[in-house]
Structure formats: C-alpha cells, structure tokens
Structure 1
Amino acid sequence: MSYVGPDFDPPQPRRPRRRLTWIAAALVPGVLLGWLVYEGVGASANGNGSDTAAVGTPTVSSTSDDSTEDDKKPSPTPTASGSGSGSLKGKVVVIDPGHNPTNFQHTAEINRKVNIGTNWKECDTTGTSTNSGYAEAKFTLDVAHRLRTLLEKQGATVKLTQDGDRTYGPCVDERARIGNKAHADAVVSIHADGAGADQRGFHVILPGSVHKGAADTRKIVAPSAELGERIAGNFVRATGSAPSNYIGDGTGLVTRKDLGGLNLSTVPKVFIECGNMRDSKDAALLTSGAWRQKAAQGVSEGIVSFLRG
C-alpha cells in the first residue's frame, strides 16, 4: 500500500526501539543470506536488474497482470514447520486482504470519513500497483487465498474481511470490527507498498499503544508484537527476502498509531507490507505466483508459531 489515505499517511519519526534478542538472531543472518538470494532473483527476473520504476500517483487495473496462468495456481507446499494436521483446531484467524479490486470505481464511497478513534480518516483507498498495472488489491487477494488454504490444513477456522465479493471496501473501521466480532486469535492484514524505486523489502506494522476515543490498543500491543516478530522471522526464511531498506531500521518491524485497522482492533493484529510494487526487482517477486506461495507460507508459519506459543 502507498502511504496515502486512511491507513497510509507517512509514518511519523519514532524513538529507536529495543530489538528483541531472538528476532535479531533470526533476522540478521536472514538479512545477509536473504539479500543475496533477493538480489539474484530480482536481477534474473528483470534482465540486467535495472530499475525503471517511477514515483507517482498509484493506479489500479483490475485486468492487467504480470503473472502467467501457471503462476496463479497455488503450488503444493509442506505444512508449517513442526505442525501436525489439526494443530490449530479451535483457533480463529482473520485475514484482511488490503483494499478491494473495484474501489477505484467507488471513489465517493471510499473517500467517506470514518472514526478511527484518534481522528477521522477516509474509508479506504484504491491501493497501489506495479508500473505495468498489477494491482495491490489483486495481489492481496491471491496471497490471502493461499494463506487461507495453508491455515485450514492446520485446522484453523479462517475468515476473510473481503473476498472480492463487495462493490467496495470494507472501510477500515469495519475491517477491524470483523476481526473483533470473530474473537480472532490472530488477524493479519496483507498489503504491498507503493514507495520509491530502489526501496525494497518487507516490513510488518505493529500497533502502538493508543487510548483515545473508540481506540484502546493497550491490551493487544504485546501479543501483536509477538505475532509480528514471528511473522517477520518466518517470512525471511520462507521467501529469502530481506527486511525493508527504507523503514524499520533493518528489523522489518515498524510501530504505528495512525492506522484505523490497528487502532480499533481488540484482538492481536498486524499489517505486513510484502514488498514495494514500485521497485522493479520487488515487482518481479510480487507478480510471481511461486513467490506469492512462499510469502503465504512465511506468514502462515509465523501465525502457527504464535498460536502454538
């Protein structure tokens, strides 16, 4: 997602946070190894690896797709590490595919302001896209479907906030309510960033401590941080990608207090920006069905690790 609109304002400067020992141990080696794999995959997917991304207003196409038909088919993958069939029986996971493929046709509706506790923000945005038109909303739904399949194989009950079955939205406040009403054990909002060229890598967004108006995240800050850390570590291992080189100080973790989807949640919840759609090397990964399967696997393994304790 681009940092424009309801949940996408530029992150505010923050004080350096103490890195947890285990996440540093998991991520630092991953950074070294991950970038080697990451650079190689990106370069081979883009010829000489040159970057042609241009920074501008994100556009969304509901028909353009960089991936092939074979890429779109989820490939068989092993179950999460150390997890047997049914290990998540009784657990509820809500997957929140960011944006909606037809938001761009409903600008008046998605520009409507909703209360996120700390202030009022637009209902939703169109999301971003690759320079060739592969929409973030299409990416998020694909990863969400793959993730749902993996988690259901573990016995979890999985709910989606939207499945391309709505004319627009849902708004960010409703997305939070869906997880709350489901009494979800974990909620993950799937996104891809719309940052500048040469800005690469993933980051997981954690809720900050907010207690204002309808927002009170104090009880979910700690478990959400644990969920996010476990997803980040497993995402590195599953995808070979490295944490963002432009936000998060190399940890792949960012804390924010301006996101309605987090502020209004009463259950553990995080966002993951799987990569930057406006960088050509990241775009080559995000538009690959094989890589999206790895992304879903990494997120799934992080959720399983969190829920099993």
Structure 2
Amino acid sequence: MRRSLAVVTCLLTLAGCATSTAGSASAPPPSPSIATAQRTAPPPSTVPRSTSTTPRTTKPAPPPVSGVVVLDPGHNGDNAANPDVINELVPAGRGRTKPCNTTGTATGAGYPEHAFTWSVAVRVRAILEARGIEVRLTRPNDRGIGPCVNERAAVGNDAAADAVVSIHADGSTNPAAHGFHVAYSSPPLNAAQGEPSLRLARTMRDGLSSAGFPLSTYVGSHGLSPRDDLGGLNLSTRPAVLVECGNMRNAAEAAAFSSPAGQRSYAAAIAAGILVYLA
C-alpha cells in the first residue's frame, strides 16, 4: 500500500513538472533589446542628395598668332661710360649720319630710360611668345654698349620681321608735358614704311590709348608723329615704329616708369597693339 502511494505521488509530481515545462515552452519570447533593434533596423536611404548640375566653364586659351617681331629697347646700360663708341657717326638714312647711339634720359630721381625700356621689352616678349610669336631683341641685356642705330635696323631687316617696335621714353624739360606718341618714318623710303608702318603706328596708338594712357600733349597729333630724322626707322625695310611712352620728367609718368606695375601696364598695352596688327 505504501509502495502504491509512493508510485502515485511520483507520477503526480512528474505530471506537474511536465505541465510546468510545457507552459514555459509556449510562453512568448522576450522583447528584443534596443541594441538588437538598432542592429536590425533598415539601412538609411541611399538616394543621393540633390547637387548642382551647373557646368563649370573655363576661359579658352587665345589662339596662337604667327609672325616674327623685333623689339628694340632704347639705349643700353653702359652707353654713358663709353662716349667714344656711342658718339661715332653712322648712317642714318636719307643721306645723313648720326651718332651711333645716346645715353637716353632719366627721371628726376635718376631712374634711367635704358632700364625702363629693357624691362618693358622683356615683358612684351613674354606676352608675345606665349601666343606663339617669334620675338627677337636688338640687345641681349641691359649691361652693354649700343648697338648703333644702323645695327638695330639691320636686326629687323635680317629677320624679315613682320613688325619692329622700338621702345623709348622721352625727356622733355617741361614737367607738365605728358603722354605718349608713336613715331614712324615719313615720307616713306620704301613700301614697308608706307601703309604697313602707318597701320602699325595706329594700332600701337590705339593699344596704348585703350589701356588708359594719355596721348602726348606736346609732340605730334592724335598720338602720331611722322619723322624723317630717326635712323632706326629710316633704315628699316620692315614695318617699324618708335614708341615714346611718355615724359620721364613728368612726376606722374616718372612714377609709372619706375615701378614694376607701371612697366607691366606699358608692356601689356604695347603687346596688345602688336597682336592686333598681326591678326
């Protein structure tokens, strides 16, 4: 009897355990943690943000220009120390002779014309070469003597230059006198000194005027000056002009001549005139 009761008790106990276990197995799973929810969250939208579709524009490079240009920076650095050389007479055209060269002028503060013309010439050369133009200078630096005016003319003639531009600055004793002028050989001695040189003079005048430089108040008319006494122009068989950029004795122009900014401005204007002529 006791044994039977024990068996029944054990069976009831096992049945109760089974019931408890079954209830536990059918219970709902616990809620996922916040971390689990974050891990299983859908990825953020991959739709790209709106961006500007305005295309960037770059300024096209200017087209190359063909031609040969001779630049003649007036005077030279050692002329003043060699008067016996530069005072020697040489042919100057029209049956005349003139001194080989001169020392040039200077500002009231002593800045020399030869330094100004050299600085402007090399800046013009850089602008023209960047456009594909072959450029030659009548002197290699600012530390030499001469060359003589007839030798300078020969550089342009031998190169069959499309344009020859001599760069100078004037030295009027009147400090109020100011402005540039462009000289050309007149009356012409050959075909190149006729219409081609006059057209070069006009484009040079217009280039400087468009850049804001004033026309001469004391030489020539409307920025042009026909001359029969300049050896470099008389002896040229190529279109040639001489640019007097202004008066070195005028305070405002002297300041521009002496400064890199002023030299850059003159160079840009001269280069612009040459480019228009060659176009």
- Relative to the length of structure 2, the TM-score reads 0.75
Higher-Rg member (1/2):
2
Give me the whole-angstrom Cα distance separating, in 2, the residues matched to 1:163 and 1:236.
29
Please, which runs of 5 or more residues in structure 2 have no aligned partner?
Answer: 1-58
Give me the whole-angstrom Cα distance separating, in 2, the residues matched to 1:200 and 1:125.
22
Matches within 5 A, 1:194-209: 194-195=171-172, 196-209=174-187
Q: 1:247 aligns with which of 209, 219, 225?
A: 219
- Corresponding residue for 1:224? 197
Identity of aligned residues (%): 45
Please tell me whether residue 279 in structure 1 is matched to residue 250 in structure 2: yes
User: Are 1:92 and 1:185, in contact at CA under 8 Å, matched by a contact in 2?
Assistant: yes
Amino acid at match of 2:175: A
Matches within 5 A, 1:23-172: 84-85=61-62, 87-89=64-66, 91-118=67-94, 119-164=96-141, 167-172=144-149
Amino acid at match of 2:269: G
- 3-state DSSP of counterpart to 1:155: coil
Please, which runs of 5 or more residues in structure 1 have no aligned partner?
Answer: 1-81, 211-215
**Displacement of 1:167 after TM fit?**
3.0
Give me the whole-angstrom Cα distance separating, in 1, the residues matched to 2:180 and 2:60.
25
Give me the whole-angstrom Cα distance separating, in 2, the residues matched to 1:83 and 1:178.
35
**Displacement of 1:285 after TM fit?**
1.4
Aligned residues: 219
- 3-state DSSP of counterpart to 1:266: coil
Amino acid at match of 1:244: S
User: Are 1:209 and 1:218, in contact at CA under 8 Å, matched by a contact in 2?
Assistant: no
- 3-state DSSP of counterpart to 2:192: coil
- 3-state DSSP of counterpart to 1:149: helix
- 3-state DSSP of counterpart to 1:115: strand
- Relative to the length of structure 1, the TM-score reads 0.68
What does the per-residue CA deviation read over 1:64-83, in whole Å, with 9 as the maximum and x for residues that have no partner? xxxxxxxxxxxxxxxxxx99
**Displacement of 1:206 after TM fit?**
1.2
- 3-state DSSP of counterpart to 1:114: strand
Please tell me whether residue 262 in structure 1 is matched to residue 233 in structure 2: yes
**Residues 84, 303 of structure 1: alpha-carbon distance in 2 compared, 3 angstrom cutoff:** farther
- 3-state DSSP of counterpart to 2:72: strand
User: Are 1:86 and 1:153, in contact at CA under 8 Å, matched by a contact in 2?
Assistant: no
User: Are 2:182 and 2:244, in contact at CA under 8 Å, matched by a contact in 1?
Assistant: yes
**Displacement of 1:116 after TM fit?**
1.4
Please tell me whether residue 301 in structure 1 is matched to residue 277 in structure 2: no
Give me the whole-angstrom Cα distance separating, in 1, the residues matched to 2:124 and 2:273.
11
What does the per-residue CA deviation read over 1:253-306, in whole Å, with 9 as the maximum and x for residues that have no partner? 000011100000000000001110011111111112112111111111111111
Give me the whole-angstrom Cα distance separating, in 2, the residues matched to 1:137 and 1:143.
10
**Residues 230, 83 of structure 1: alpha-carbon distance in 2 compared, 3 angstrom cutoff:** farther
User: Are 1:85 and 1:153, in contact at CA under 8 Å, matched by a contact in 2?
Assistant: no
Give me the whole-angstrom Cα distance separating, in 1, the residues matched to 2:239 and 2:61.
23
Give me the whole-angstrom Cα distance separating, in 1, the residues matched to 2:213 and 2:93.
34
User: Are 2:175 and 2:250, in contact at CA under 8 Å, matched by a contact in 1?
Assistant: yes
What does the per-residue CA deviation read over 1:142-179, in whole Å, with 9 as the maximum and x for residues that have no partner? 00010000000110000000032663000000000000
Please tell me whether residue 192 in structure 1 is matched to residue 174 in structure 2: no
Give me the whole-angstrom Cα distance separating, in 1, the residues matched to 2:112 and 2:60.
33
- Corresponding residue for 1:10? none
Give me the whole-angstrom Cα distance separating, in 1, the residues matched to 2:246 and 2:92.
26
- 3-state DSSP of counterpart to 1:303: helix
Amino acid at match of 2:73: P
**Displacement of 1:86 after TM fit?**
5.0
- 3-state DSSP of counterpart to 2:93: coil
Amino acid at match of 2:176: D
RMSD: 1.6
User: Are 1:206 and 1:256, in contact at CA under 8 Å, matched by a contact in 2?
Assistant: yes
